[in-house]
Amino acid sequence: MNKTSAMPRTTDRNTWPAAIDPQFLDFINNEVLPLTKVNADSFWSDLNTLLTKFTPRNRELLQVREEMQAKIDTWHRTNEYHVDDLESYKTFLKDIGYLLEEGPDFLIETENVDPEIATIAGPQLVVPVQNARFALNALNARWGSLYDALYGTNVINTPPIPADGSYCEARGAEVIRRGRDFLDEIFPLDNASHHDITHYQVYFQNFCAFTDSGKFVGLIDSSQFAGYSGPCENPSTILLRNNGLHVELQIGRSNEIGASDKAQLADIKIEAAVTTIMDCEDSVAAVDAEDKIGVYRNLLGLMTGELTATFNKGGKQLTRRPRPDRSYIARDGMHQDNWFELPGRSLMFIRNVGHLMDIDIVKDSDGNYSPEGILDGVVTALIGSLDVDRTSGPANSRNGSIYLVKPKMHGPDEVAFTCDLFNDIEDMLGLPRYTIKLGIMDEERRTTLNLKECIRVARHRVVFINTGFLDRTGDEIHTSMQAGAFLPKDQIKSQPWIEAYENRNVDIGLQCGFSGRAQIGKGMWAMPDEMAQMMTEKIAHPESGANTAWVPSPTAATLHAMHYHRVDVLATQEALNSREPASLDDLLRIALIRDGSSLSDKQIERELENNAQGILGYVVRWIDQGIGCSKVPDINNTHLMEDRATLRISSQHIANWLQHGLCSEQQVREVMTRMAGVVDEQNRADPRYRAMTPDTENSIAFQAACALVFEGYRQPNGYTEPLLHDYRRKQKTLCKPHGLAAQ
């Protein structure tokens, strides 16, 4: 954006940043600070001090990344990498400080962690906070309807959902049957089935039910009964609990299901998305002050509870807002005043951006932009402090903590930088030490290899580690770009380093005392329309010892929650403590095409098409519409929930093959052009879509996609942000003079 600098009016303007975007200044001074105890003069002066202190260190850490990568590139050009003899390679990595010696055992010391993170295992959503409607939908996904999730997905194949949208009674009956099956499995009755129940009630502080034969039964495990609402003899809800998660039986004739059900069971509500990452990073397209303020403004509304979104759905105008907490009578409460509440909303993490990018909202005296990650830390913590100081209304953290996730950190020095930054932010905002908790995303190779030491430096703050195949593989390819040609992506998934990566993350988390204190997370299920397959496969995540895993929608969260009822994650973690830790050598086995192996021309062409189509399908929405996360059809027309990580792995993969001569630049350009036509056809029904073909030379989106590939080797750690931001700003600039929508 072309904006003039705004100089804050203060008695000592020299203590403030040299230039502040006027809209950002207005947002902080008039929308955020009045809700806090922080004085505007102090805030801007302290921000300037903080930027002066941490910006040079931020730049130095980025320079270390570049220097290490240059040394690794040189080593691979002059040395032969032997996958079965790693000693010389490991010695080299240790000599340059890339691979560190592991220190003595320790346990994390994080305090005041909310149970949603420390002790409750369940699904986690990741949502672009830039989109208010999506963010509110995720916030409200703490509870989901099992009936709706079963009816509306392919978990049930027959009978099909009617094409005209009318209700199918036979499908509804199958939903009810499966709901009763779930209750029998997780909350079994003593010598009876939920299929046979005609009436649920509370009798002398206990759950009880009557069968169609008139028999009076209770739960086999009476401790699973947690509470209820309504009269004991005819409750409107009954609350059950298993493995720390709640299930609510909704009873009554208020809807068609309850009126026709023999037990008046209208729905089964499942505690689903226990936590949500409100994302300011990979799933958003925020390239300038205008975009960034919108991200911060939505986050402010989420934290105050005042954010709303109005939209049309099914011909009706709807307004979405944060849901209230849910109230129940305690199981041992004989009187109506003995109430307790459960959160009605998912507990929010806030994912900041990494260390790489700068942004124009604050500039120094030389006109240089400020590190976006530093500003994210300050502003998201400032907004989070509203929750810490809350005196009324539903809180995000009931333990007075602010949860920030920091992605794309490379090794313990960068984690230490983040912890030091958080120390100064706490001092700046008058927060007690370690109020800000840290989520460490294990998605960079140097962090994976040194994860224990990364956790060590954050042991007073860390509440979260997780794995992510796409970014982690993108960094794997870029780091070892000169080692040789990588296998096709599907084959990379089956290589030893992937299993070692996933297992080692859990092993180290457990060794460092995460069980009962912090989250160990696993990655996204990327196919939101393939819920039947998810239900078969994603149970592997809680079985792996992870107490959370990412899902692409509230519906997926509801279904995935069933896995956490079937798997006691805390017990699983206890059992895993005794296994042999995953091999470091396996982590260092680069997934290269081995000597004597080769790919056919057809295999190479197909892999290029797959990568190119994935890049183009995502980039065209990012550049032209400012959409950072959406369902993108792949080459087989399977819709995948994609964010920026898909670009990193796909662009680095093609760049690697170009580097080692498996394909030519001309071949890749031909594939890119052909796949642009495929993507255009896939998006033909979108009225906002701008076709890339036939005039690809004048399509900024197409040129951006090509740049990601052909300049991929030169991009820092293979990141896509620098190029995406440049091309998106070009698109916004072109649209503005013509009055066109750029998003």
Catalytic residues: 351, 643
Tokens read off for 553:
């929608």
Helix count (H) and strand count (E) of the chain? Answer: 26, 25
Length of the chain: 743
DSSP, residue by residue, 558-622:
HHHHHHHHHS-HHHHHHHHTTSPPPPHHHHT---BPPTT----HHHHHHHHHHHHHHHHHHHHHH
B/e letters for 104-119, b = 16+ CB within 10 Å, e = fewer, are eeeebebeebbebbbe
CB 243 within 8 A of CB 562: no
Q: How far apart are CA 370 and CA 37, in angstroms?
A: 25
Residue with tokens 């994650």, as numbered in its chain: 569
CB 431 within 8 A of CB 377: no
Q: How far apart are CA 441 and CA 406, in angstroms?
A: 7
Q: How far apart are CA 115 and CA 639, in angstroms?
A: 34
Tokens read off for 7:
């100089």
DSSP, residue by residue, 397-431:
-TTS-EEEEE-S--HHHHHHHHHHHHHHHHHHHTP
What SS3 string covers 308-329? CEEEEECCEEEEECCCCCEEEE
CB atoms within 10 A of CB 737: 7
Q: How far apart are CA 108 and CA 92, in angstroms?
A: 31
Specify the pairing of strand 326-330 against strand 275-279.
Answer: unpaired
340 sits in which H/E element: strand 339-342
CB 414 within 8 A of CB 440: no
CB 72 within 8 A of CB 89: no
The gap from C-alpha 611 to its chain's centroid, in whole angstroms, comes to 23
CB 132 within 8 A of CB 309: yes
